[in-house]
Amino acid sequence: MQISIAQFLEAAQDVCDLTVASGEKYLDRSIREGALNRPGLALSGFFQYFPQRRVQVFGLAENAYLKSLSAEDRRERLTQLFEQRVPCVVSTRSRHPLPELLECASAFKVPVLKTSLITNRFINQATLVIENLAAPSMKYQGTMIEIMGMGVLMEGPPGIGKSETALALIERGHSLVSDDLTVLRRDSTGAINGSALDITRYHMEIRGLGIIHVPSLFGVASMRREMRLDLVVRLERFDPKREYDRTGLISETVKILQAEVPAVTIPVAAGRDIAHVVEVAALNQKLKQLGHDAAKELDEKLVRALERKRLA
């Protein structure tokens, strides 16, 4: 794992109210373990199992303990700590770091950050931020829409009508997550989350119209920043020679970032209202998540009915 302090700072700035107290030029150092540490034991001189790859957090207790030491001891312990090549130090509760800490940090080229949060809250928030930064992610060619609480990613060859279908879905009251290119990220629970690239968020391209700004045309409710991925819809040109599953009994999945995501293939033939079909596919998937599989239930009902007739 390699996350630079600069990356961490950018991602955590808002949620953690972080600022740089010193060492602005050392922000390219990297966090090498996705957790944070309160270095109490290390400050008392015990360095066995010291997690030096983690962000070191100085809260009220650490500061009070340092202050209780003689100036000499204080400098010695801090030197020992920074000798471990820690990625960065964070001082919580807006406390200005002790002068010895700043001196040692700059001697070892370690940046010192400051947050207004209390220690526990900072650790919780920062852990989430680091986990997110470290989460496996990829860019996926496809348009993502939120349909009544379901994240649906539409993929298919260029010109098949992904954006047009998305537009029709937006007009029906659903929300756009991203057009054409979606950033997918696997979170710590294994779920896949989709979002737009920052630069193109809120925009989509419609052939013949060019680029449009979705919330200006359809209101803020037409946009959604991030959405869990529940279903992949593959749009493909209708091929009369191909045999499509007509029952929905066969469950298709697609592997994305090591996760199996349910998928459906929808043949696109002229005159078919694809937006409507995609909407129903999303609802049907929602029903399946609730434990109702319409195709399977009808089949079971049929088998029972046929069995009764056979024995009658």
Q: Which of 268, 198, 205 is nearest to 233 (CA)?
A: 268
Cβ proximity to other proteins, 100 vs 299, nearer residue: 299
Closest separation between CB of residue 302 and other proteins, Å? Answer: 4
Cβ proximity to other proteins, 67 vs 310, nearer residue: 310
Cβ proximity to other proteins, 25 vs 304, nearer residue: 304
Closest separation between CB of residue 249 and other proteins, Å? Answer: 6
The contact set with other proteins (CB under 8 A) reads: 243, 245-247, 249, 295, 298-299, 302-303, 305-307, 309-310
Closest separation between CB of residue 281 and other proteins, Å? Answer: 17
Token readout for 23 is 């060492």
Closest separation between CB of residue 243 and other proteins, Å? Answer: 5
Cβ proximity to other proteins, 138 vs 305, nearer residue: 305
Closest separation between CB of residue 280 and other proteins, Å? Answer: 16
Closest separation between CB of residue 275 and other proteins, Å? Answer: 23
Cβ proximity to other proteins, 46 vs 238, nearer residue: 238
How many Å is the Cα radius of gyration of the chain?
27
Cα separation of 312 and 308, whole Å? Answer: 6
Cβ proximity to other proteins, 257 vs 295, nearer residue: 295
Closest separation between CB of residue 190 and other proteins, Å? Answer: 31
Cβ proximity to other proteins, 79 vs 265, nearer residue: 265
Token match 């992904």: residue?
162
Token readout for 194 is 């989709």
Cβ proximity to other proteins, 72 vs 243, nearer residue: 243
Closest separation between CB of residue 311 and other proteins, Å? Answer: 9
Could you tell me which residues are beta bridge partners of residue 204? Answer: 212
Cα angle 177, 182, 186; round to 5: 100
Task: Sheet with 181-186: list strands edge to edge.
Answer: 137-141, 181-186, 192-196, 226-228
